Each structure stands twice: as structure tokens, then as C-alpha cells.
Amino acid sequence: MVEKYSVISDKGVRYLISQPPILSKSCNYTLRALLYLATREAEAGGYIGIRQIALELEISFSFLAKIFQKLAQADIVLSYRGPGGGVALARPANTITPLDIVRIIDGEALFTGCLLGLPDCGDAQPCPMHQYWSGLRDKLHHMLESVNLAELAQQIRSEGLRLTP
């Protein structure tokens, strides 16, 4: 099996990280699916079928259906069964940030946890990676909260960016 790697650098230190580097598969799929909804929100004029989203994004239908259940519980999407049913954003795309989604799907551990998984890692009892990870963690937090789904959807449309592998 061939693995893909990303190189992340901070303060002159380079890290080789196996991809996907930070977010869970569920979170990656969720962000892709919500960006898909946001890019098609105006043209669809309503609900988009989960099966259609799964096919276009090459994501398992059952996996995606479970993700949308969680998003409906968190009031991120509306779900409608029956003819013409599917999912739609529950609120305007410009009010949803990637940070909101990461918190719903992956929780806060990304922003509070130790890169090495050590309990009680912090300024008082740091691990060897603490000073590097805390800086990257703060930058990642800022990046995820500084943009919203509407802005990203506009980039996808105007620059032809992709959501599929």
C-alpha cells in the first residue's frame, strides 16, 4: 500500500505526517458533503438526495446517511423524507464555519489534546512536541473559524476547485 504524506512546518521544524493529517474520515466526508450542499444551494432550490451526494462525492451512502443524521441533530441540516426529499442546510451557509463542523464530528480534542496522546500535557507538564503543536493547533483553529461555507462554496464555483478524490 502506498501512503501519502504531508509536510507541515512551524518555527523551522518540519513534520512528516501521514494523510489525512488531522481530521477524521467522518469529518473530511462531512466537510465535503456540506460544501457540496452549499455550492448547489441556490441552483437546487430545495432538498438534495443523499444518494445523489454520495454518488457525486464517491462516499458510501450508508456512511453519509449516518453523518447527515448527526448533522440534523446538531441543526446544521434539515432532512425530509419522501418524494423530493433529501437534505438542505438548516441555516445560511455564511453562518456555518468548518470549525463548527469539526467540533460536531470530531469534538474538541484536536484543539485541546496532546499530539502524542499524553494525558495532562500542557504548559506545566509539556511533552516534547508541546511547544510546536500548540502553535500549529492555534493556527488551525483560527483558519477553521475565519472562513465560512458560503465563502468556500464561492471559491469552488469560481475557481473550479474539486470535492472528489
The domain that holds 61 is classified in CATH as: 1.10.10.10
For residues 122-142, average pLDDT: 91
Confidence of residue 3 (pLDDT cuts 50, 70, 90): very low
**Higher-confidence residue: 67 or 21?**
67
**Does residue 48 fall inside a structural domain?**
yes
Whether 17 is in a domain gets the answer no
| Domain interval for residue 123 | 24-158
| Helix orientation angle between 61-73 and 98-106, rounded to the nearest 10 degrees | 100
**Exposed, middle or buried: residue 74 (CB in 10 Å: 0-12, 13-18, 19+)?**
middle
With pLDDT > 90 as the criterion, what percentage of the chain qualifies? 62
pLDDT one-digit tens code per residue, 52-64: 999 999 999 999 9
pLDDT band at 19 (very low <50, low <70, confident <90, very high): very low
CA distances from 8 to 5, 20, 107, 108, 115 (A): 10, 12, 22, 21, 14
Residue 153: phi and psi, rounded to 5, are: -65, -40
By mean pLDDT, which of 33-37, 60-64, 72-76, 108-112 is the weakest?
108-112
Q: Answer yes or no: is 2 within a domain.
A: no
DSSP-H helix ranges across the chain: 25-44, 50-57, 61-73, 98-106, 109-112, 130-145, 149-159
**How many structural domains is the chain composed of?**
1
Residue 123's identity, in one-letter code, is D
pLDDT digits (tens, 9 = 90+) for 78-95: 998 877 779 999 999 999
In a domain, 93, yes or no: yes
On whether residue 38 sits in a domain, the answer given is yes
The string of DSSP codes covering 63-77 is: HHHHHHHHHHHTTSE
The answer to the question of residue 148 being in a domain is yes
- For 23-32, the pLDDT digits (tens) are 889 999 999 9
Place of cell 467540533: 103
Domain annotation covers residue 122: yes
Residue 5 forms part of a structural domain: no
